[in-house]
Structure 1
């Protein structure tokens, strides 16, 4: 009887092994494929933003600023005192190519007709419009706003070059100048003109293309995030420059929502028979590199921010204190993973002495915990680094405090 029981147990273990092989050969690869497809759909979600308005209003400068570039950047949209855009021109976001900002030809010519203009530039191509104006409200702005509203298209009215308006106002009335009052007058005038043109509840934002972190840009970001849904919202939150602490936190949250997918994919890969754990490091290293770029902590992003903010890359780089922010390499990632996983490796070996499938599953569970802890901790560190970098970049006339680093 005892011998029969042992044979039965061996049979069950054999059955489990065969079942495990079947699950690993069919279920795990299929789940991995679907999970990777979900992550790919996030990264490739298309978002097309139209930037339109009169010639000379600063459309191209705004396109560059929204892409995190200065006008002198090699990849920047051309700018000038005369109209430089002859036809709708897409400019992909440097880090998210599926997000495109379209620089549309200028309006306001004597022969301008809003309906024909929208037909020519391809009205249905864009997710929303940024209607750009500067200096004063013109009839072409009213016509274009009416046409967009009539077509049921979402648009936002941007009054640009506000910094120039403030300087001019300060020069004209130095004794009675009050910045808040001037900004309120500009806002009220645009709203009044748009309402007179028949636009209900117009959304007006005051911006400076060369000082994007000032005035209403944070409010514009928040409004767009509220009104977009799904993958397009995800793309927008990762694409627009995170220039305030609130924007950095919002970006951290949108990335945090998908950490479990990345960690689970690493877990499934480790559960596949015959695949070494080192493959997880490559997957996670790529994810961490994308996180670091998203927070503007890589060398290219720090250089671009330094050019826009008239700072120095060295000054900004000194604010990066997290261990993975300072050094992102296979060795540094493997070290963090090993610290988390070390305590569970013995359990995986013990389980594997009796049921090989269980060893793979436990190893996958350890991998999930380690990957999740790695990504979560790195995300927190990158967000803190990003806020410190922004403070150093935009603090006018004073040096930032020396960062206190607690990295090993």
Structure 2
């Protein structure tokens, strides 16, 4: 799909036909808006995955239709949520890895990682072994991920904020680069 439009845009620009280039670009954008994208939100239980799902959907926790949040293991089955501005974007709230209900050795298969286009790995406190396992498995499947460090506000109350955030950033980068 992209190649077809890219060639059309390139040819139109080479012929100084800006109207045709713009038309091809608009067609490409219109078509790409209709592509379904599945985003898997994963990480350890209690890391803030469901809160992130709600934030991405622009709704508050505990409102109607929000992903359930709680102080105990709350997400027990994977749940699909449409993005509020584009229903082709599906945000999947996955249960937490590394609990008695979802052990790390079975997690990837049970959560059907192959069905997601990319992932957001959510972690609180520090980069952990399970974060590394998730990153490795996602990379084995030639998929991309973003790493999100959550609940920082709870950690910075007694520290120099800038220095503390730099240490957190360095720890996350070190953990990810060790895995990749």
Give 3-state SS (helix, strand or coil) of 1:163's partner. Answer: helix
1:99-122 deviation line (CA, Å, top 9, x unaligned): 1110011102267235x3222212
**Is 2:176 aligned against 1:185?**
no
The Cα of 1:150 is off from its aligned counterpart by 2.2
1:21-67 deviation line (CA, Å, top 9, x unaligned): xxxxxxxxxxxxxxxx9786454321111100011000000000011
1:71 matched to which residue of 2? 61
Give the total of aligned pairs.
Answer: 153
In 1, Cα distance between the equivalents of 2:82 and 2:161? Answer: 35
1:322 matched to which residue of 2? none
In 2, Cα distance between the equivalents of 1:98 and 1:143? Answer: 29
In 1, Cα distance between the equivalents of 2:98 and 2:169? Answer: 21
Contact 2:78 2:94 in 1 (8 A): yes
In 2, Cα distance between the equivalents of 1:188 and 1:134? Answer: 14
Q: Which has the higher contact order (CA 8 A, sep 6+)?
A: 2
1:26 matched to which residue of 2? none
In 2, Cα distance between the equivalents of 1:88 and 1:80? Answer: 16
Give the counterpart of 2:49 among 59, 65, 71: 59
Check 1:166–1:151 CA distance in 2 against 1; reply closer, same or farther (3 A cut). same
After TM superposition, the runs of 4+ consecutive aligned structure 1 residues lying more than 3 A away are 37-43
Q: Give unpaired runs (5+ residues) of structure 2.
A: 1-26
The TM-score, its normalising length taken from structure 1, stands at 0.35
In 2, Cα distance between the equivalents of 1:131 and 1:78? Answer: 18
Check 1:94–1:188 CA distance in 2 against 1; reply closer, same or farther (3 A cut). same
Give the counterpart of 2:112 among 107, 122, 134: 122
2:77 matched to which residue of 1? 87
The TM-score, its normalising length taken from structure 2, stands at 0.76
1:122-148 deviation line (CA, Å, top 9, x unaligned): 222111110110012222112222222
**Is 2:132 aligned against 1:150?**
no
Bigger strand share: 2
In 2, Cα distance between the equivalents of 1:43 and 1:128? Answer: 17
Contact 2:62 2:69 in 1 (8 A): no
Q: Give unpaired runs (5+ residues) of structure 1.
A: 1-36, 171-176, 200-408
Check 1:40–1:185 CA distance in 2 against 1; reply closer, same or farther (3 A cut). closer
**Is 2:154 aligned against 1:164?**
yes
The Cα of 1:97 is off from its aligned counterpart by 1.3
In 1, Cα distance between the equivalents of 2:74 and 2:99? Answer: 14
In 1, Cα distance between the equivalents of 2:154 and 2:41? Answer: 20
**What CA RMSD, in Å, does the superposition of the two structures yield over aligned residues?**
2.1
2:38 matched to which residue of 1? 48
Higher-Rg structure is 1
In 1, Cα distance between the equivalents of 2:176 and 2:85? Answer: 35
Bigger helix share: 1
In 2, Cα distance between the equivalents of 1:108 and 1:137? Answer: 14
